[in-house]
Amino acid sequence: MQPLSIGIIGAGRIGRLHAENLTLRTPRTNVLMVADVSEDAARDCARRYRIQHAVTDYRAVLESPEIEAVLICSSTDTHARMIEEAAEAGKHIFCEKPIALSLPAIDQALAAVDRAGVKLQTGFNRRFDPNYRRVRQAVEQGEIGQISIIHIVSRDPAPPSIEYVKVSGGMFLDMTIHDFDMARFLVGSEVEEVFTAAGVMVDPAIGEAGDVDTAVIMLRFANGVIGTIDNSRRAVYGYDQRVELLGSAGAIKTENNYPNSAVVSNGLSVHRDLPLNFFIERYTDSYVAELAAFVDAVLHDKPTPVSGQDGRTPVVMGLAAGKSYRENRPVRLSEVEHG
Ligand SMILES: NC(=O)c1ccc[n+]([C@@H]2O[C@H](COP(=O)([O-])OP(=O)(O)OC[C@H]3O[C@@H](n4cnc5c(N)ncnc54)[C@H](O)[C@@H]3O)[C@@H](O)[C@H]2O)c1
């Protein structure tokens, strides 16, 4: 079978990571071109991963007849437009989260994908993490019976820069969006209502930029499950990523991942090293697996495992969580959906 020819748009943090994973760890792929508005970023990425062409205009990727699939890894505000243009050019698409920050923009992009009949996968990598996969398996196979409660703890080690905060779409759409995806993926049911308590407890500058940095969001699912998401932009001990589900026949929980399993015991304490520090270290395997799944879906003409609708729903949840915080009341997702 011929390898899949791929172009990458955006050579920042995540674009470089995907370039590395595709070129070094994903069989049956051939990355032909990388585009970034920053010529240095494109060139550096191309040199490092031996990609033939580095360009500054992403349209060169879309116009290349050889390229069959594109990875959209540029800043969030470019995603929807690029999805539309890539679909019109007949390219299969892997797009980083979030697809866009508004529902009309997402709907327009998804309509273009449908019209063109190309494949779209959204970058919710945590679905491919071995811990969360095992939790999903336990739920699917009924190992802990009927689920009643889910708790998701998701805390970053330190807040991003204020420049990033200002264009991120806010914590709910930038950070919690992964947890919203995890909630519906792990439980296997849609969230119908959210109730947010949030505040600025890490950095007043985040509040001045119009965002929050700490939140607890209560979730009510269509199948009756209730849950919480616990977010902070600061956990001084490292990236804190855990879930726990309770069911009628038991419970399942995951712990943080550590760089080693050594436990030091002395006359003062019993301790160990801090957990893996951030997403690139913690979710390494999941980034490789999500691309392998995308390549497999395209090469074997199968549905992608994380669809465009899977990309859209967590945005609805994020918009509802923001509304709930501002209005200090539970908000049904249907309120956001219909206006
Ligand atoms: N799935 C994940 O775990 C994960 C992790 C980090 C970031 N992301 C998402 O990936 C996207 C990029 O984030 P990042 O952290 O890599 O940001 P970044 O700022 O490091 O990189 C973005 C890159 O896109 C380039 N760019 C901007 N506009 C462009 C355009 N029109 N054409 C070509 N290149 C353009 C910028 O020059 C920059 O190099 C964001 O949407 C973010 O939400 C996802």
Residue boundaries of the structural domains of the chain: 4-118, 130-282+314-337
- pLDDT (0 to 100) of residue 338: 77
Ligand 1 pocket test, candidate residues 14, 33, 129, most atoms within 8 A of CB = 14
Tell me whether strands 69-72 and 240-247 are parallel, antiparallel or unpaired.
unpaired
For residue 303, which phi and psi values (nearest 5 degrees)? -65, 145
Find the 331 Cα to ligand 1 centroid distance in Å.
31
Q: Please, are residues 228 and 219 in contact by the beta-carbon 8 Å criterion?
A: yes
Q: Closest Cα to residue 306, out of 96, 117, 77?
A: 96
- If one counts every other C-beta atom within 10 angstroms of the C-beta of residue 334, the result is 12
Residue 201 DSSP SS3:
coil
Find out whether the beta carbon of 55 lies less than 6 Å from any atom of ligand 1: no
For residue 281, which phi and psi values (nearest 5 degrees)? -80, -45
Question: Tokens in use for 251?
Answer: 């419970």
Locate tokens 């956001």: which residue?
336
Cα 74 to Cα 60: distance, rounded to the nearest angstrom:
15
Task: Look at ligand 1, atom 15, and give the residue with the nearest C-alpha.
Answer: 13
Question: Tokens in use for 62?
Answer: 């879309």
- pLDDT (0 to 100) of residue 54: 98
Q: How big is the CA angle at 81 (ends 339 and 233), to the nearest 5 degrees?
A: 70
Q: DSSP string spanning 258-269? A: -S----EE-SS-
Find out whether the beta carbon of 9 lies less than 6 Å from any atom of ligand 1: yes
Same fold yes or no, 4-118 and 130-282+314-337: no
- pLDDT (0 to 100) of residue 1: 78
Contacts of 237 (CB under 8 A, 6+ apart): 157, 274, 275
Ligand 1 pocket test, candidate residues 16, 38, 96, most atoms within 8 A of CB = 96
Cα 131 to Cα 239: distance, rounded to the nearest angstrom:
15
Find the 293 Cα to ligand 1 centroid distance in Å.
21
Task: Indicate the burial class of 61 (C-beta count within 10 angstroms; 0-12, 13-18, 19 or more).
Answer: buried
The stretches of 103-250 forming alpha helices (DSSP H) are 103-116, 130-140, 162-167, 171-174, 176-187, 204-208
Q: Name the superfamily (CATH) of residues 130-282+314-337.
A: Dihydrodipicolinate Reductase; domain 2 (3.30.360.10)
Find the 160 Cα to ligand 1 centroid distance in Å.
14
For residue 37, the Cα-to-chain-centroid distance in whole angstroms is 23
Find out whether the beta carbon of 97 lies less than 6 Å from any atom of ligand 1: yes
Find out whether the beta carbon of 123 lies less than 6 Å from any atom of ligand 1: yes
Find out whether the beta carbon of 239 lies less than 6 Å from any atom of ligand 1: no
Find the 154 Cα to ligand 1 centroid distance in Å.
21
Find out whether the beta carbon of 62 lies less than 6 Å from any atom of ligand 1: no
- If one counts every other C-beta atom within 10 angstroms of the C-beta of residue 106, the result is 23
Cα 248 to Cα 147: distance, rounded to the nearest angstrom:
6
Find the 243 Cα to ligand 1 centroid distance in Å.
27
Find the 97 Cα to ligand 1 centroid distance in Å.
10
Which ligand 1 atom sits closest to the C-alpha of 164?
19
Angle between helices 308-327 and 103-116 (to 10 degrees): 170
- pLDDT (0 to 100) of residue 167: 85
Question: Tokens in use for 200?
Answer: 């600025």
Q: Closest Cα to residue 164, out of 175, 155, 154?
A: 175
- pLDDT (0 to 100) of residue 42: 98
Q: Closest Cα to residue 177, out of 106, 238, 120?
A: 106
Structural fold of domain 4-118: Rossmann fold (3.40.50)
Find out whether the beta carbon of 309 lies less than 6 Å from any atom of ligand 1: no
**Per-residue model confidence as pLDDT tens for the chain (339 residues):** 799 999 999 999 999 999 999 999 999 999 999 999 999 999 999 999 999 999 999 999 999 999 999 999 999 999 999 999 999 999 999 999 999 999 999 999 999 999 999 999 999 999 999 999 999 999 999 999 999 999 999 999 999 999 999 988 999 999 999 999 999 999 999 999 999 999 999 999 999 999 999 999 999 999 999 999 999 999 999 999 999 999 999 999 999 999 999 999 999 999 999 999 999 999 999 999 999 999 999 999 999 999 999 999 999 999 999 999 999 999 999 999 976
Residue 198 DSSP SS3:
strand
Which ligand 1 atom sits closest to the C-alpha of 125?
1
Cα 219 to Cα 316: distance, rounded to the nearest angstrom:
13
Task: Look at ligand 1, atom 4, and give the residue with the nearest C-alpha.
Answer: 14
